[in-house]
Amino acid sequence: MPGSEWGTATEQRFNVNLSILFTELPLLERPAAAAAAGFTAVELWWPWVDSPTPERSQLDALKKAIEDAGVQLTGLNFYAGQLPGPDRGALSIPGVESERFRANIDVAADFARSVGCKALNALYGNRVEGVEAAEQDALALENLVLAARAADRIGAILLIETLNQPESPLYPLVSAPAGVAVVDRVNEATGLGNARFLMDLYHLSMNGEDLPSVIERYAAKTGHVQIADNPGRGAPGTGTLSLEDLLGRLRKAGYEGWVGLEYKPGDRPSAAAFDWLPAEARAAR
């Protein structure tokens, strides 16, 4: 997988997920580190795992760090509990977690608007023992409708993500069809049409899905793509996925959005984990 071919054959726009890369640095130093590595765009999971409603000073400090670094925040997760950790989301979990998700909706949307972010990712919650799946799914739809309306208010899309069953056995969306079905239900319920599929090629490969077929079937409904190699969730070239070919297929299928780098750097500083991608391909064109 020659690094010199990346970014030219695919013509994709890459950003860096600062919740899995550059985590050896404090949060407020990560945007500048990504910029120093040559990137002009970043994305984030919800950074305050214990608080869906952080102090205004914390929000302002992150906004300043992003702006001072000169990078664009292109994606932000709504509150999703402990990530990384045992949680996978909050919006479908009755009680406190669902309430925390709802409290976060406008906070996350308003922060996204303040930095020009146009994509908000809403993770389903794990299945809960003693609660019917149908009850959780009804709650999820209710909360996703609220999230879609908040995203629409700021001119953003709402992303629905599929994870993988081996690593997230209690997470209900572990196939591309399951994720897209939720996208369709949200769009039908709101009439807004701003819900989109988040196509994470690592998670889908862990589920054993036929990735070229997934791309062919669902590229038109995809609002964001994330990549990591498999096995290991490392950088492209560390595993066996033909990621360059897959991104080329996405491009040919009409996908022109961001590709988020959501992989682990391995036993090296994050800044050294981009040798597969030439410097000229890192800045958004």
Instruction: Write down the mean pLDDT value for the chain.
Output: 95
The pLDDT confidence band at residue 154, using thresholds 50, 70 and 90, is very high
Q: Using CA atoms, how far apart are residues 203 and 207, in angstroms rounded to an integer?
A: 6
CB of 265 within 8 A of CB of 273?
A: yes
| pTM score of the predicted model | 0.96
User: Given 161, 167, 216, 244, which residue is catalytic?
Assistant: 161
The fraction of the chain above a pLDDT of 90, given in percent, is: 91
The pLDDT confidence band at residue 3, using thresholds 50, 70 and 90, is very low
Provide the pLDDT for residue 252. 95
Q: Given the structure tokens 């292109």, which residue do they identify?
A: 74
Provide the pLDDT for residue 83. 87
pLDDT in tens, 254-276: 999 999 999 999 999 999 999 99
7-34 burial string, b = 16+ CB within 10 Å, else e?
beebebbbbbbbbbbbeebebbebbbbb
Residue 189, number of CB atoms within 10 A of its CB = 14
- Angle, nearest 10°, between helix axes 56-69 and 96-114? 40
In terms of DSSP bridges, do strands 258-261 and 72-77 run parallel, antiparallel, or are they unpaired? Answer: unpaired
The fraction of the chain above a pLDDT of 70, given in percent, is: 96
Class of domain 16-264 (CATH, top level): alpha beta
User: Given 43, 209, 244, 262, which residue is catalytic?
Assistant: 262
Is-catalytic flag, 262?
A: yes
Q: In the predicted model, what is the mean pLDDT of residues 138-159?
A: 98
**Lowest-pLDDT range of 78-87, 111-120, 249-258:** 78-87
Torsion, Cα 273 267 234 76, to 10 degrees, reads -70
Provide the pLDDT for residue 194. 98
Which of 32, 26, 30 is CA-nearest to residue 18?
30
The pLDDT confidence band at residue 203, using thresholds 50, 70 and 90, is very high
Q: Using CA atoms, how far apart are residues 285 and 280, in angstroms rounded to an integer?
A: 10
